[in-house]
Amino acid sequence: MISQAGKTFSRSKIFLIVCLVFIFGLAAASFSPLNFFQFEIWWFGVAVFFLVLTFLSRAAAETSITDGRQLALPLNRAAGQADNKFFIDSGLSLKSAAFYFLLASILFFSFWRYGVSLPEDAPDKIWHYNQSADGSGGRAVIARGIISKEPDIRESSQKLEINVSEICLDNESGGECRGLKARGKVLVTTALYPEYKYGDELVFQGELKQPEEFNGFAYDRYLARYEIYSVCYYPKILPPLSLPLSKGESTHPDNWFYGKIFVLKNFLTGLIDAGLSEPESSLARPVVFGGQRGLEQKIRDDFQKVGLTHIMAVSGFNISIIAAIVMAGLLASGLNRRQAFYLAVMFLAVYIIIVGAPASAMRAGLMGVLVLWALKLGRLNKITNSLVLTAAILLLINPKLLRDDVGFQLSFLAIAGLVYVYPILEALWQKMRLPKFKGVSDALLITLAAQVFTLPILAYNFSQISLIAPLANLAVLWAVPILTILILAALPLAALLPNLAFIFFLPSLILTKYILATVKFFAAWPHSYLTVDYLSPLWIVLYYFLAIFLVIKARRSKLLSQEISGKM
Amino acid sequence: MSSRLYKLLLILGIVACFAAMPLFWLTYHQPSRLEVDFLDVGQGDAILIKTPGGQNILIDGGPDKTVIKRLGENLAWWDKQIDLMILTHPHDDHVTGLIEVLKRYGVKRILYTGAAHNAPNYLAWLKTARDKKVPLTIIDKAQTVNLGEQTKLEILYPGRSLLNKTLADLNDSSIIIKLVHGQNKFLLTGDAGLEVEKTLLAGEADLAADILKVGHHGSEYSTSQEFLEKIKPRIAVIQVGAGNDFGHPNLRIIKRLERTGAEIFRTDLSGTVKMISDGEKIEIN
């Protein structure tokens, strides 16, 4: 316990504040100029300095308080009556000093962590070769590497993330090409065919370039999230042995586990393609497996207009809803909370493995587990600490997510809306004595609550605010988890009897057709969306301050708090 | 209604649905109409033929995966079979889409010329066909494929095997097909150029047709005046992508077609062109 100016912080409160300071520090760091991080080791030094101060002042506080207590013992009463209060007081203020030293240490630590995540320019890094000697354009290289992620297959091209191990510079003066060790990722864009797969070894010859911002989209920052600092467009792809291996270098296949997972995933998406036609299969695939771009641009634009693009991603929000439904189903089938929780967690684990276990789905899965855990406890609003801790851990692993990963931001904000805003809306609904329509009102309030915190991020990143979104979400969202579960159920049947696949996929066909028709219908409405050409970050900050202020105010107000605490 | 009765009715309903499906299959007969869809796949060719007997024939696949969407739009939801796939020649704007078709549809047989070409897309198509164990047949002479009582597919060109032959212009290896349904005739010429047209004019084949798929997306190196005069098409279809880099279709060819009296349909302007023939007249929509 740390007492400070009459207030007492419990351990869990201190923990929460430490996590929040860390997240705030990363936010500040990610908007700081790059030359802040030239000697990032200094930040670490200062962090350690403050940490030492924390321990010293805590120790001093302990001795001071013990001294004070000893002085207060009856034997010493005569001698130290006046002194003991002084010792205890100074001990307490030393304790609160320790608390502030700890926060300062965390703040500097977060700056150091962000600095470490920035690319270091050295001759053994692939991004060192992004510019030709005269700086006029890309640098011509021959590079060898291994495909380190599933190929991203588009309508008329594919993108390969290649983990390069060595390169050979095209000598600008002509002559022998010299081999060099240079490591790092390159995003290669190439024709649709031939096809490649995860783990393939490639040698490519082309120009390395630095990714650049275009149309106001920070493509460089977007790729930097996953440590890609070089791109290469339509290189010549050579047979793997055309660059002789340097001694001691082995061509190790990257990761056996992922290789097998992707084979399974390809097999399963192939089943969906065989069981459904276009455009239904291109909706069904991303709803289950996420991250794919099969739908044609016109339909994608419609999804954007009605604010439903999010259903085509394995996001924290979607996984949480699926997890909650599975848990509810298991509870209804007579299991107790404990058993239902563990079974639902196992279901989530299997699902995440099936979708190929990309970092984004693992994050989403973690949040799904959080929501399940909250359901096991029986209350949704007790998860503040776990939510903030999850965010802090994910950011400790990859600090760039905070500023540059829209999916990360949206997932957390949507869940925050669910946890903090939904009870308020529900209480308001009850207070106004509006009818409940057997759960329809809940669905509407859930989609509204999820929108409260995500709205500015959506407007800023996609230049659109969908006005129809609450209605469209209400009309479609219920179908998404059902669709996911129907497809997951149809997959093993279709694998056993491929000729009858179209029958097993009939229920999913009806749902996908329904979703596509609904999206088309709502997108055709006049004024279904607003276009936001430019949104100043100041407005976003202002919006969040206002939203958080209102939420706190509403939760403290007596009228609502009664109903909230009654509900939860 | 008691819940037991409700459950019973629900189960009976589901059983009835499942029983109705095979019955529907056995008794459902497609009317004896031939459907030819000139699919809008951008700058490239893709033609879907649905015969009165229910077979699906796909000639070429366009330059990307768009053909999958068009097939989805033009085939029934349960129909995932292509009975015959024909590749007129191995250029990218004809072969690329077929790779994905091989993956997603059950393809029963492939006809192609076997002319030598080593572009990645063509090689990927061949590899996929072999992986899927689809029988590949080389066209080595003019021949006729019977599709029904009054429906047949005549292959007019090439009259010899082009297997592993290297050609100066691959377009001239194009398979030329005449589709006949009763009185209605369709002439599909791939990307064949003027040389091939001369060869055909010199030959014995009857070229007269109601509908001409204009050669090589309306390029000026196809569709000579003499060729047109021999065909005398009432309708000409140009499969071409909006704003393509080649300047297709050529204005002179369009004028030439108009002078012949043919009504012109273009996939870049009107999307997929769907024709239904009952053996006597042709409906277009």
Name, in order, each residue with C-beta under 8 angstroms of A63's C-beta and a sequence gap of 6 or more: A91
* Residue A135, CA atoms < 13 Å, CB-side half-sphere: 0
Contact between B77 and A193 using a beta-carbon 8 Å cutoff: no
> Least CB-CB distance to B80: which of A192, A194, A274?
A274
- What is the average per-residue pLDDT within A447-463? 81
User: How many angstroms separate the first and last alpha carbons of chain B?
Assistant: 50
Residue B102: count of CB within 10 angstroms of its CB: 22
Q: Give the ipTM of the model, two decimals please.
A: 0.74
Q: State the residue for tokens 């207009």.
A: A305
β-bridge mates for residue A190, sequence order: A158
pLDDT > 90? residue A22: yes
Contact between A273 and B124 using a beta-carbon 8 Å cutoff: no
Contact between A193 and B120 using a beta-carbon 8 Å cutoff: yes
pLDDT confidence of residue B30? 58
Percent of chain A with pLDDT over 90: 6
Contact between B123 and A280 using a beta-carbon 8 Å cutoff: no
> Which chain A residue's Cα is nearest to B65?
A155
In this predicted model, what pLDDT tens digit does every residue of B89-102 receive, in sequence order? Answer: 999 999 999 999 99
Q: Which two tokens stand for residue A212?
A: 């650049």
Helix, strand, or coil (residue B114): coil
- Which residues of chain A approach chain B closer than 8 Å at the C-beta? 155-156, 191-195, 270, 273-274, 277-281, 296, 501-503, 509
Mutation target vs A (from B24, B48, B78; most A CBs, 10 A cutoff): B78
Average pLDDT, whole number, for chain B?
A: 89
CB of A294 within 8 A of CB of A281?
A: yes
> Which chain A residue's Cα is nearest to B17?
A503
The answer to pTM > 0.80 is no
In this predicted model, what pLDDT tens digit does every residue of B53-83 receive, in sequence order? Answer: 889 999 999 998 889 989 988 988 888 899 9
Contacts 24+ apart (CB under 8 A), A176-181: A177/A142, A179/A243, A179/A244, A179/A246, A180/A123, A180/A124, A181/A124, A181/A246
- What is the average per-residue pLDDT within A214-227? 83
- What is the average per-residue pLDDT within A273-285? 86
CB of B112 within 8 A of CB of B139?
A: yes
Contact between A193 and B78 using a beta-carbon 8 Å cutoff: no
What does the angle CA A60 – CA A65 – CA A69 come to, to the nearest 5 degrees? 150
What does the angle CA A280 – CA B42 – CA B152 come to, to the nearest 5 degrees? 85
β-bridge mates for residue B49, sequence order: B36, B57
β-bridge mates for residue A4, sequence order: A7
Residues from chain A that touch B80, judged by Cβ atoms under 8 A, are 274, 277, 501-502
Largest separation between any pair of C-alpha atoms in chain B: 81
- What is the average per-residue pLDDT within A166-180? 66
Burial class from Cβ neighbours inside 10 Å (0-12, 13-18, 19+) for residue A373 reads: middle
More reliable by pLDDT, B271 or A126: B271
CB of B264 within 8 A of CB of B236?
A: yes
Residues from chain A that touch B65, judged by Cβ atoms under 8 A, are 155-156, 192
CB of B116 within 8 A of CB of B90?
A: no
pLDDT confidence of residue A8? 58
User: Which residues in chain B (125-164) have CB-CB distances under 8 A to chain A?
Assistant: none
Smallest CA–CA distance, residue A506 to chain B, in Å, is 9
Among the listed residues A56, A52, A33, A53, the one whose alpha carbon sits nearest the alpha carbon of residue A111: A33
Number of A–B residue contacts, CB under 8 Å: 50
Among the listed residues B227, B252, B272, B240, the one whose alpha carbon sits nearest the alpha carbon of residue B75: B272
* Gap between the Cα atoms of A497 and A499, Å rounded: 6
Any alpha helices (H) in A356-462, and if so which ranges? Answer: 359-377, 384-397, 401-404, 406-416, 422-431, 440-462
CB contact, 8 Å: B63 with chain A? yes
User: Which residues in chain B (86-115) have CB-CB distances under 8 A to chain A?
Assistant: 96, 99, 103-104
pLDDT > 60? residue B157: yes
β-bridge mates for residue B177, sequence order: B155, B188
Mutation target vs A (from B21, B66, B68; most A CBs, 10 A cutoff): B68
Residues from chain A that touch B124, judged by Cβ atoms under 8 A, are 193-195
More reliable by pLDDT, A22 or B243: A22
pLDDT confidence of residue A72? 60
pLDDT > 80? residue A81: no
Q: Which stretch of DSSP H or E encloses residue A8?
A: strand A7-9
Among the listed residues A122, A138, A133, the one whose alpha carbon sits nearest the alpha carbon of residue A211: A138
Name, in order, each residue with C-beta under 8 angstroms of A48's C-beta and a sequence gap of 6 or more: A105
